Structure 1
Amino acid sequence: MKKMQRIALIGGTHGNELSGIYLVKKWLAQQTLKQWDTLDITARIVNPRACEQSVRYIETDLNREFGVGLDDMDKTGYEALLAKKINIEFGPKGNSPYEFLIDLHNTTSNMGACLMLQRKNAFTVLLGGYVKHRMPHANIYFQDNVPEEKQNFLLTVAQQGVTVEVGPQPNSVLQQETLGLMEEMTKHILDFVELCNSGTALEIPDEYDAFQYSENLHLPVNENGQREGLVSSLVDQKDFQPIEPGQVVMETFAGEKITWQGDYTAYPLFINEAAYHTSHSAMTLSKKIVMSCQDYK
């Protein structure tokens, strides 16, 4: 694998997700990044105004501003301009000198410690195995099959990027357990990069369980776009637990049960995510997969 030297560690993409913000602050104050002295790591809180106000964003979601409109000079909103600035500092997208970017996020959903990977290649597959071996409770999630036009996340600025997504944690709240999980996973990621660069033999299983994005489920709404139901208590807070075809996943306010109509066993995540209220998203669905590290070594 290609050596990775320049690395960006990003917190505060969303200003009310405090674990990433405070992990960056903590590591800068304690000079923790010196643990990986062979790596050139830049740590940054990228949306300071949103962080100051403890809101997800000021005008638009910064983590959706890195798509096809990134170079559109007619887009002049706060986060749109901020994305252009970030693209100059860490990009440009498609030709970035940064080999790797780690974006730190919290979710209100009960996802535990989740490593989200945008691609399937030797680096990401082996990284997933390395983290899973050291954090058996972690969830490894691939979304390399998300359509290219929706690959508009901040991490796409660098040559490769991953998201550390940890929850459940309420917005604008900092919790010791959640911060600890984020810190543990991020340390493992940086250890992996340093070991790969040095050519050290990696202790990685031959295979591991992971999850693959499949589709999204939305809450029922009426013709005026008003919600008419909610996520069933049978599913709520049970991220990455299987749901079978015909199983109840939502319920209308009138008491009608809404069942999963798919033809496969699904594993939901981002269940009842607070940030997705405007899109009426109920949950994202994934399929369980087995990743073979042997195929990528």
Structure 2
Amino acid sequence: MNRTHLAIFVLLMLALSQGCASLTNADSSANSDLELLLCGLTKCPLRMFLCVLEPACRETLTCNSQCGSAGVRSQQQACHLACQLDQGSRSGIYSSLVQCFANNGCLPTLPEGTDGQCLVNSDNIHKVHVLESLDELDGTWLEIRGLNCGVPGSNWEGGYDALPCASDSWIYHAQQWWYHTSFCAPAENESCNEQGVVHLIAEPRLSDQETGLLEVFYINPPLQPQHERWYILSRPDPDWIMYTYCGSTPIGEYAGVNIMTRVPEPSNDAMPPEVEAAFRQAAQEFNFPYEDMCVTDQSPCPPVTAEADVREWVEGL
């Protein structure tokens, strides 16, 4: 065995000892983990080695290794995302390692066309609600219903809109607007798991090239770049909104639809009948079944810390 083979063997054993994969487990999640590990060893060997040596990176890998038993694929993806944004944020190596995985095609993706569909096109864009200013969105909005619910066999298998405690906040700070979204990976009872709430921050802007388009550019995503195009499908009340987002990362495109509100005690039951009627009409106009939208229970969720998170981010720049 030459030095190169020996180094790879040692790295493989170290990585396996930290829970990256299990050679003795023949199920699909273990096979997927092993494929990821072997691809990483081939394409990103230095980062893999540094990750194994760093405690915070090893902790994140251990977190990732537990996601294979987190339920259906969408729940596994949510688990991985929470690991990246929680433990991964404390590592100086992990984000670089995952970015290398993505850049070299090591990360798994959902089949094309199953992770949501962009609903706005040239035939219906005239129906979207047009914002005059981001001031209209000021504050924190909580998700009530969503369309990308992670249902196997649907065209919405990512499950992003089924994440517990999902929120959108629009914060004006340091002479500009910021977008903050928070959520958590689901536990068995569909509440937040033990990792708690994680968040992403973005720079939003209203497009001056396309009427009705709101662009969102994430500045701390797990994978760079991440960009979303938003369209408001209906806003029958200042405090209730239905929007669709079409996004992309280095590993693929995704989309979803959310109903959000900023009323004091948000719930699906608190939605006024005339608001629900308008949302049902919008669903019909943009060609998706309203009843396919899953409902989010915000009652067990902790307070949203958007303003503090944005301030901390800006002060760290």
* TM-score with structure 2 setting the length: 0.27
Ranked by relative contact order (alpha carbons within 8 Å, sequence separation 6 or more), the top structure is 1
- Choose 1 or 2 for highest CA Rg: 2
Higher share of residues assigned helix = 2
